[in-house]
Amino acid sequence: MSKILVTGGTGYIGSHTVVELHNAGYTPVIIDNLSNSSLKILDQIEKIIGVKPEFHQFDLCEETLVTNFVKNNPDITGIIHFAASKAVGESVEKPLKYYRNNFFSLINILQAYNDKKINFVFSSSCTVYGEPDQLPVTESAPVKKATSPYGNTKQIAEEILEESANAYGNYNVIALRYFNPVGAHESALIGELPLGVPQNLLPFITQTAIGKREKLTVFGGDYDTPDGSCIRDYIHVVDLAKAHVAAIKLLEKGNPNGNYDVFNVGTGNGYSVLEAITAFENESGRKLNYTIGPRRGGDIIKVWGDVTKSTQQLGWTAQLGIDQMMSSAWAWEKYLQEQPIA
């Protein structure tokens, strides 16, 4: 079947999507600069699917390298674009890093494919909704002023993609606005692999549980929520990966909504940070050492998605619940304890 380029394909969501593309009969090709991942992930993917995917290591912000890759790989028919800096808190501290990485890489790819017919799935985010007026939030909800540079890059990237699809006619684009990916592959061979101090909740939970971190700080305990902590729509990373495959299939078939479209990808359920901690404790049998700290800049108070459109038009529905998210993440952390990947 078709060759699909996966940028950031050794990263957390990218590696799981590579596996699901292979399982669906596609040939994934990876580009990654390994700035937030490890080359060893290729070996882990091979253990799962039986073949090592084609891999190219370079920075998509380097225009010449992107142009040369496209010239040398004319048989690519689809792109799933993950490569980007992705931590909300870090983006507040280092906005220029986020604007450079997240815009240059996208624009370079679009320019390189400007004369080719290409199906393009973009890794967007529910952060484009800001603090939504109504919950669950639908795709028709207004895009609000971003609360972080990371969120702003997703908003502007969506605008770049929509305007490019309308202007040039050769891009068929779906932006997947997903909520909070967690969990790991059922094999425990791939999962979230933060370099340095984790920026996301669940790896900090698992690292605290296994003793890598002394304690977990919950950012804010005085929000307008039932228990005072932020509420998120957590989605299992394997379900999320399968949504990207569904998006590619819809683009290949022809999206009746036109050459640019957006879909929410979540479970439609909201869990607070403290509820997520409790779910993890129940699955792992470990009590977590955590404290309530000050609020973190850029955080949304509560958000979860309406996924009706994804169910009806993508033919996709999340299958894995909060318990499986927590148990798989814990299995992955225990695997890393025995066989470190760096």
3-state secondary structure at position 242: helix
Contacts 24+ apart (CB under 8 A), 331-338: 331/184, 331/188, 332/184, 332/185, 332/188, 332/190, 332/191, 332/192, 332/206, 333/191, 333/203, 333/206, 333/207, 333/209, 333/210, 334/188, 334/210, 335/188, 335/189, 335/191, 336/191, 336/193, 337/210
Structure tokens that stand for 262 in this block: 């957006």
The residues that are catalytic are 150
CB 99 within 8 A of CB 57: no
CB 281 within 8 A of CB 287: yes
Q: How far apart are alpha carbons 76 and 93 in whole angstroms?
A: 37
CB 185 within 8 A of CB 48: yes
CA 99 to chain centre: 18
For residue 79, the cross-strand partners are 5, 120
Element (H, E) at 272: strand 271-272
List, in sequence order, the alpha helices (H) in 113-230: 149-168, 201-210
End-to-end CA distance of the chain: 33
Cis status, amide bond into 136, omega within 30 of 0: yes
Under DSSP, the state recorded for 224 is: S
Amino acid at position 175, single letter: A
Structure tokens that stand for 264 in this block: 């929410």
